[in-house]
Structure 1
Amino acid sequence: SPPIKDENNSNISDSPFHLLEGRWTFWYTHRPTTFRNSSVNYDSCLKKLGTFGSIEEFWCYYDHIKFPSELPLYSDIHLFKETLKPMWEEEGNRLGGKWILRLKKGLSTRLWELLVFA
């Protein structure tokens, strides 16, 4: 059977990587405790950690990201499609939502991994 081609007409089956259906980006935010009462905007608190499109690239980033239970207060890790930033103002997030869970520290890491690996 012929090899599968990607949009650049390259042989995907010849790739040493296990490609995902799309590309994803890890983001980090840390808001100062005075965030609500300051002139600091949310965008300035965002830091792009990296973008990946294969299982191998995912592990290169994931192996170096702290677990949720190890993050400082007022910090978040986000995982979004490559073209989106974790901001309400993004067109692709216009009809989206946000889940906030308050968990025992021991549960947050396990639930984070279940969600990310799904």
Structure 2
Amino acid sequence: MASENKDITVFDDPINYNVTHPFQHKWTLWFDNPGKKANLQSWGQHLKEVVSVDTVEEFWGVYNNVVKVDRLDISSNYHLFKQGVRPEWEDSANANGGKFSIQFPRNRTAEAINDYWLQTMLAMVGEQFHAEDEICGAVVSVRKVFFRIALWIKSSDDMTKIQTIGQQLKDFLKVPPNIAVEFAPHGDGKGQSRMTI
């Protein structure tokens, strides 16, 4: 009887194993494609919650079955945020925070954007940032002449922490030296200024 409850790994049975590898947090994938006619009031109506994952296996199951970034329509966005955090400035987890933004020219990063987005997600779900508790989520945006990756954090008042997270993001993605990583508080609020990492 006790053996029926035993965890079976891929080493025991490559087809019928039951072991999963949980994340520290549950993550929710969102999608929107508001098109050219969207405004700030209607933007939230276009935002759709796709799926939440809390294990390595679920993450790869989703990643391998969604459209890759380079194949999305212009104006589309994927958002991967900790469960319970909406990818909106107004969400209480984001309200006092900001975002790191990296713009990649489409004509030079067409397929590379898929890897940049994957590495961003893996750094988040794998808890690779030193200030992991600061990470709210990330967004990848498809625009006519560029792709943008944005990493959102929950506070924008500790410049040392911001510098560290920004440098780690740069390192994780191996951002070329000619591409800037910029940080801006959400809504440019509270008199805080933008900075380049």
* TM interval, short-chain normalised: 0.7 to 0.9
* Matching of residue 113 in structure 1 with residue 114 in structure 2: no
SS at match of 1:26: strand
Give percent identity, aligned residues only.
27
Any idea what SS the aligned residue of 2:45 has? helix
Partners of 1:16 and 1:106 lie apart in 2 by: 33
In the superposition, relative to structure 1, how do residues 33 and 100 fare at CA in structure 2: closer, same or farther (>3 Å)? Answer: farther
Q: TM-score, normalised by structure 1?
A: 0.78
Matches within 5 A, 1:22-37: 22-36=25-39
Q: Which consecutive residues of structure 2, in runs of 5 or more, have no partner in the other structure?
A: 1-5, 8-17, 124-197
**Is 1:74–2:70 an aligned residue pair?**
no
Root-mean-square deviation (CA, aligned residues, Å) is 2.0
Q: Matched residues in 2 for 1:96 and 1:45: separation?
A: 23
Q: Within 5 Å, give how 1:40-55 maps onto structure 2.
A: 41-55=42-56
- The residue type equivalent to 1:49 in the other structure is V
> How big is the shift at 1:111?
0.7
Q: Secondary structure at the match of 1:51?
A: strand
SS at match of 1:87: coil
TM-score between both structures, scaled by the size of structure 2: 0.48
CA distance in 2, matches of 1:87, 1:107: 27
Look at both structures and tell me which one has the larger radius of gyration over its CA atoms. 2
Query: For 2:93, what is the secondary structure of its paired residue?
Result: helix
Q: 1:75 to 1:22 in 2, by over 3 A?
A: same
Q: Deviations over 1:42-92 (max 9, x none)?
A: 211111110011111112211111111111000000110001110111000
Higher relative contact order (CA 8 A, sep 6+): 1
**Alignment CA distance shift 1:84-1:34 (3 Å):** same
**Aligned-pair CA distance for 1:107:** 2.2
Question: Is the alpha carbon distance of 1:86 and 1:111 closer, same or farther for their aligned partners in structure 2, counting shifts above 3 Å?
Answer: same
Q: Matches of 1:109 and 1:95 in 2, distance apart? A: 29
Instruction: Give aligned pairs, total.
Output: 104
Distance in 2 (CA, whole Å) between partners of 1:89 and 1:116 is: 22
> Unaligned stretches of 5+ in structure 1?
1-12
- Residue 160 of structure 2: aligned partner: none
Letter in 1 for 2:38: F
